[in-house]
């Protein structure tokens, strides 16, 4: 058959085949596999990790994978308050916990960027302690803020995961520090990074959807707004001219059950994996997996982003899938 004569029913059949085959051979289990941390001390672990998880683009939870770090033993609000109260930190502020997410404003949905404010670490910790209504703070910059802005913390964690660097054959591009309010939600999205995510204190709840389920993940075009002067109690201003005017973002919010009727494919057909990452655990979150994240109050985490290999056939295949679903601008 000439590719130029492909019709819509052929595309539909192809997508159904992808769902069925991946159900039988990949996603018949509904739980992210868990391994004891003893695995990562074997010489063969970088190879096993590459073979069993990276090459299959499949997540894995390593229980206690960073338990031996000084950070896990030391870091919590009290420790930071005692030692780093006067340190300047960049904090994102929102009235509802949705930084980089969709929210309704005066009857219309917008993609909201958070306000970013530099404050003393001690004052940030106070916002978490006080937990004022409609005032949600989160340290969540993803610009390697741990190595750039918290370099004095680096002695308590590893600069890289040697087994991961060996498997990916590169050093991490970014190492990020996260700490925040339990009301802060990271909305569903995906990244072109291999992600090694470590919880230092508290826990994080990840909802994961594999990249092959892109056909069932709805996107919409949203006008962008940016919060300014967010105050306890709910008042805020909006920046008049955010840098971007529009953004394509995922329209389904897993926390909003009312959307079930509008997006049944997302809620019913897409394969959803729920995984709680507890203190000392390490999650391998493969590139392009959709993820939605919530956390316990004052949760602290560190993650390592390794750039993907663009010369990997999986990448080309995801691009093709995105074109098939008319979502190619989103990859
Ligand atoms: O921890 C979070 O809130 C979000 C983490 C995330 O989206 C990421 O590491 O890519």
**pLDDT tens-digit map of 66-78:** 999 999 999 999 9
- What number does the ligand 1 atom closest to the CA of 176 have? 9
Quick one: tokens of 124?
A: 């940030």
Quick one: tokens of 26?
A: 């990949």
Residue 93 lies in a domain: no
Contacts of 291 (CB under 8 A, 6+ apart): 186, 188, 189, 190, 206, 207, 208, 209, 285
Quick one: tokens of 253?
A: 């919010």
**Structural domain range at position 158:** 29-88+116-215+264-330
- Mutate which of 145, 289, 293, 308 for ligand 1? The one with the most ligand atoms within 8 Å of its CB, which is 293
Mean pLDDT of 221-232: 95
Residue 275 lies in a domain: yes
How far, in Å, is the centroid of ligand 1 from the Cα of 90?
16
Predicted pLDDT at 329: 72
How far, in Å, is the centroid of ligand 1 from the Cα of 244?
22
Distance CA 46, CA 71 (A): 23
Say how many domains are in the chain.
1
Predicted pLDDT at 30: 85
- What number does the ligand 1 atom closest to the CA of 184 have? 3
Predicted pLDDT at 330: 58
How far, in Å, is the centroid of ligand 1 from the Cα of 188?
10
Cβ proximity of 156 and 70 under 8 Å? yes
Helix (H, G, I), strand (E, B) or coil at 19: helix
Residue 3 lies in a domain: no
CATH number at residue 164: 2.60.120.10
How far, in Å, is the centroid of ligand 1 from the Cα of 186?
6
Residue 4 lies in a domain: no
- Mutate which of 291, 299, 304 for ligand 1? The one with the most ligand atoms within 8 Å of its CB, which is 291
**pLDDT tens-digit map of 163-188:** 999 999 999 999 999 999 999 999 99
Residue 107 lies in a domain: no
Average pLDDT, the chain: 95
Residue 64, pLDDT > 90, answer yes
**pLDDT tens-digit map of 84-121:** 999 999 999 999 999 999 999 999 999 999 999 999 99
Question: Which residue's CA lies nearest to atom 10 of ligand 1?
Answer: 191
Helix (H, G, I), strand (E, B) or coil at 154: helix
Distance CA 181, CA 299 (A): 7
Residue 10 lies in a domain: no
Residue 303 lies in a domain: yes
Residues lining ligand 1, judged by CB closer than 6 Å?
Answer: 178, 186, 191, 195, 197, 204, 291, 293, 301, 303
How far, in Å, is the centroid of ligand 1 from the Cα of 293?
6
């Amino acid at each position: 058959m000439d590719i130029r004569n492909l019709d819509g029913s052929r595309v539909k059949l192809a997508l159904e085949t992808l769902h069925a085959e991946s159900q039988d051979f990949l996603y018949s289990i509904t739980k992210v596999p868990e391994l004891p941390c003893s695995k990562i001390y074997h010489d063969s672990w970088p190879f096993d990790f590459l073979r069993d998880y990276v090459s299959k683009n499949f997540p894995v939870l390593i229980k206690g994978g960073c338990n031996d770090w000084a950070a896990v033993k030391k870091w919590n609000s009290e420790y930071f308050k005692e030692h780093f109260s006067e340190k300047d930190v960049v904090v994102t502020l929102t009235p509802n916990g949705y930084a980089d997410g969709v929210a309704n404003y005066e009857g219309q949905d917008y993609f909201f960027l958070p306000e970013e404010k530099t404050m003393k670490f001690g004052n940030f910790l106070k916002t978490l302690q006080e937990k004022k209504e409609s005032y949600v703070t989160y340290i969540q910059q993803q610009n390697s803020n741990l190595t750039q802005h918290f370099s004095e913390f680096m002695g308590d964690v590893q600069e890289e995961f040697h087994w991961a660097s060996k498997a990916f054959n590169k050093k991490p591009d970014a190492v990020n520090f996260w700490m925040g309010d339990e009301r802060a939600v990271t909305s569903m999205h995906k990244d072109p990074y291999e992600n090694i995510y470590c919880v230092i204190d508290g826990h994080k709840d990840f909802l994961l959807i594999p990249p092959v389920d892109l056909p069932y993940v709805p996107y919409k075009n949203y006008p962008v707004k940016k919060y300014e002067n967010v105050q306890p109690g709910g008042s805020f201003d909006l920046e008049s001219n955010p840098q971007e005017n529009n953004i394509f973002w995922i329209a389904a919010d897993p926390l909003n059950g009312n959307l079930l009727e509008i997006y049944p494919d997302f809620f019913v057909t897409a394969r959803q994996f729920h995984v709680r990452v507890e203190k000392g655990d390490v999650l391998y979150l493969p590139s392009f997996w959709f993820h939605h994240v919530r956390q316990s109050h004052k949760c602290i985490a560190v993650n390592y982003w390794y750039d993907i290999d663009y010369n990997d056939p999986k990448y080309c295949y995801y691009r093709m899938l995105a074109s098939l679903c008319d979502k190619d601008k989103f990859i």
